[in-house]
Amino acid sequence: MNLNNLKLHQKLVPENYLKLALEAQRCKEIQMKELLEKRKLPDVGWTEELIEYLIQQLAALDNNNFEHKIGLGEREARMASSKEISIKYLRKKLIIFFQELVIRRNYGFGHGIGRSGDLLEAQPKAVGSTIVAQLTNALVLDVMRLQGIKSVKCCFIVPMATGMTLTLCLLSLKKRRPSAKYVLWSRIDQKSCFKSITTAGLTPIIIDTVKRNGQDGLFTDLGKFEENLSSTDREEILCIMSTTSCFGPRNCDDIINLAGLAAKFDVPHVVNNAYGLQSTYLTHQLEQANNAGRVDLFVQSTDKNFMVPVGGAIVAGFEESPVHAVAKAYAGRASSSQSLDVLITLLCLGKTGYQDLVNQRKLNFVYLQKQLEEFAEKHHCLVIKAKGNPISLALELKTLPADVATKLGSMLFTRGVSGTRIVTKACNKTIDGFEFADWGSHESNLDCAYLTAAVSIGLKLPEIDAFIHKLQQCWQDIEKKTNKDTWQ
């Protein structure tokens, strides 16, 4: 609606008052125009009002929201409650079923994104949903570049978990490499990453991480990778799968050299960058990996990097074709809910907002490390200095027997510390028929129990203080309750 063009009666409001008020709207119009025309993240975040206004305007462009629509034949986007649902007679009474909650919470969007053939295709019936999807993809691309992945070419959001999205990537590669069956996988003890391979019907070749002399943490076993690449029929190898963000003391995989191997042996390379977008260290690894060799696809979570509810992932690549192939592999139309949450969040933050969060995270990491080191010194533990892991820290609980370490973990959980993880020796596990020694440790030779603690984007400094405080309390409790002599 353009109030500028209306001729309002003096009785409604004097013209000169109106003129001034309308002028004050202009900056909003410019913000919207720039966003839609340039498809770049605004420098400064938008107000909630403006964000909602944009979304409502876009939703109005979907045909389920047209006033004079004839929905015959449509099987979707007819949300229960479109204001005239059903009427029943119950002793003379008319009762009308009605609810607006679903419509309201979805802003009237119902068509989802993409068309059955391709998640990136525009929907003629759903112009607003199409814009939401494409605009969000464009803004995410902008964030990626901003974060240092300067060569990234294209990306899109899929409303599936990161694990399932990796599965979809593998399946799209499989279409091009029909005889391939193996995925060379640098072990990371995170279940859904591993399951992404088995669910795709592929066979993982598991390559444990290894320790290096003089360096803390766990590293990619490049030698084993090369060995396997040499010894296996290349046609049978679907790809290398590596991981950037992970629980300490595992480091980010050496994706630069893995990319080199991928190029050398001409096999695809898929990187699991689950929560790596929030760390400029990890994003630069990706950028360099691309320069040094071959990275076909890299996948990240929307929730872990953009603080939206769980359930979405971003597929990205340094070339268009492999990314488009993934979009084309998704069978059916997908939910637009995840794109909408990301769009709202990015517009709210703006460039500076996101960068502030990223910087704050870095400072928080340094702060946690310092606090943990002080704790370690007092309590004869050790913070492992895994330099290739800028997000998660591991605290070796040298003095604690496995059962006591496990107990420490559950004490922390009961006290509201829900994000730490205790890894103990000899905890073996079988997943989809594959056996893992020392599950949780990314290797098969765990020395002693440790506790991991991650510093994610959005964590607030006081939460670190509170965590250290709880950790000290639990530790003291444990010292009191258990016979300390039996520990050592």
Looking only at residues 283 through 302 of this chain, which bind a copy of itself when binding is defined by CB under 8 A?
Answer: 301
Q: Which of 95, 230, 377, 447 binds a copy of itself (CB under 8 A)?
A: 95
Q: Is 415 annotated as a binding residue?
A: yes
Helices of type H across 122-246: 127-146, 162-176, 191-199, 222-231
DSSP per residue, 303-355: HHHH---S--EEEEESSHHHHHHHHHHS-S-B-SHHHHHHHHHHHHHHHHHHH
Least spacing, CB of residue 119 vs a copy of itself, in Å: 9
CA distance 5 to 373: 66
Asked if 307 touches a copy of itself (CB under 8 A), the answer is yes
Least spacing, CB of residue 382 vs a copy of itself, in Å: 19
Q: Which residues contact 90 (CB under 8 A, 6 or more apart)?
A: none
Q: Is 116 annotated as a binding residue?
A: yes
Nearer to a copy of itself, 44 or 291 (CB): 44
Least spacing, CB of residue 290 vs a copy of itself, in Å: 23
Helix H or strand E segment including 429: strand 429-431
Least spacing, CB of residue 309 vs a copy of itself, in Å: 4
Q: What letter would DSSP give residue 82?
A: S
Tell me which residues in 404-433 interact with a copy of itself (CB under 8 A).
413-421, 431-432
Nearer to a copy of itself, 224 or 328 (CB): 328
CA distance 395 to 454: 11
Q: Is 407 annotated as a binding residue?
A: no
**Site map 176..215 versus a copy of itself, x via CB under 8 A:** --x-----------xxxx-xx-xxxx--------------
Asked if 124 touches a copy of itself (CB under 8 A), the answer is yes
Amino acid residing at 472: Q
Q: Which of 40, 127, 375, 482 binds a copy of itself (CB under 8 A)?
A: 127
Tell me which residues in 19-58 interact with a copy of itself (CB under 8 A).
20-22, 24-25, 27-29, 32-33, 36-37, 39, 45, 47-49, 51-54, 56-57
Q: Which residues contact 102 (CB under 8 A, 6 or more apart)?
A: 79, 80, 81
Q: Is 16 exposed, middle or buried (0-12, 13-18, 19+ CB in 10 A)?
A: exposed
Inter-CA distances, 344 with 51, 102, 147, 339, 450, Å: 7, 18, 19, 9, 38
Three-class secondary structure of residue 375 per DSSP: helix
Nearer to a copy of itself, 9 or 480 (CB): 9
Asked if 363 touches a copy of itself (CB under 8 A), the answer is no
Nearer to a copy of itself, 136 or 228 (CB): 136
Q: Which of 13, 363, 380, 481 binds a copy of itself (CB under 8 A)?
A: 13
Q: Which residues contact 230 (CB under 8 A, 6 or more apart)?
A: 265
Q: Which residues contact 54 (CB under 8 A, 6 or more apart)?
A: 32, 35, 46, 347
Nearer to a copy of itself, 121 or 226 (CB): 121
Q: Is 304 exposed, middle or buried (0-12, 13-18, 19+ CB in 10 A)?
A: buried
Tell me which residues in 242-261 interact with a copy of itself (CB under 8 A).
none
Nearer to a copy of itself, 263 or 466 (CB): 466
Least spacing, CB of residue 362 vs a copy of itself, in Å: 13
* Positions at the binding site: 75, 115-116, 123, 333, 415, 480
* Positions at the binding site for pyridoxal 5'-phosphate: 75
